[in-house]
Structure 1
Amino acid sequence: MAVARIVPNRYAGDVREGAGFFNDVLGLETAMAIDFITIYRSSTQPTAQISVLTDDPSGLRPAYSVGVDDVDAVHARAVAAGHEIVYALRDEPWGVRRFFVRDPLGDIANVVQNKD
């Protein structure tokens, strides 16, 4: 299992709130924009990303996302280690498979694998 990226999640009333700052000031490109999330990334280091969400469709607020190449294996290890799964493993309609787990510091991690 390999980790492809770790992305901080920020929350705002409108996912476009930070666009001027992230695009124009920091020079990040918009990697994805749908109704509840906009992801900004570096054009030269595409794994350098930040996500701005209004709210996650799960109703929870994960502090960060970890992109992996085998989400099922990570889920199995988290369960075997006794970590609290706060959002069950599932396929989402926007093309990812994911689950949320509470980390030892008390934050929620969104562990995600792109399905494409």
Structure 2
Amino acid sequence: MKVKRIVANINTQRIEAARSFYEEALGLELLMDHGWIATYGSEENMTVQISFASEGGSQTETPDLSIEVDDVDEALERMRRAGFPIEYGPADEPWGVRRFYVRDPFNKLVNILAHR
């Protein structure tokens, strides 16, 4: 058996609220919408990963999601323009990433990062 995909599911009654953060600010595409579930994604090939952590590194809270982007500074600017609260960073971390934390519309802590 081979794991082909891991999907994060966020429980909410406000599914439409995902659009401003995940589609408009992050640039993901709406791949599926059945009314009761909306799935955003990218055609980019991604590796399957799941992490377990006692903290987020640099004595930060463990984020609910980590999203790697190609330009973290552009992502930061888009989040700020969209009015999403930045909770940490931007920071150049000793393990080789530049990142920031932001809250999505569902109060999930999202780690937006790029490898240096």
TM-score range, shorter-chain basis? Answer: 0.5 to 0.7
Q: Which runs of 5+ in 2 are unaligned?
A: 1-5, 9-44
Match of 1:96 in 2: 97
Residues 7 and 49, structure 1, Cα contact 8 Å, conserved in 2: no
> Relative to 1, partners in 2 of residues 1:95 and 1:47: Cα closer, same or farther, differing over 3 Å?
same
Q: Which runs of 5+ in 1 are unaligned?
A: 1-5, 9-44
Residues 7 and 51, structure 1, Cα contact 8 Å, conserved in 2: no
Higher strand share: 1
Match of 1:55 in 2: 55
1:37-80 deviation line (CA, Å, top 9, x unaligned): xxxxxxxx861111111212242121010011000000000001
Identity of aligned residues (%): 43
What is the CA–CA distance in structure 2 between the aligned matches of 1:78 and 1:46, rounded to whole Å?
Answer: 23
What is the CA–CA distance in structure 2 between the aligned matches of 1:7 and 1:93, rounded to whole Å?
Answer: 29
TM-score (normalizing by structure 2): 0.58
TM-score (normalizing by structure 1): 0.58
The offset of 1:88, in angstroms, is: 1.6
Higher helix share: 2
SS at match of 2:47: coil
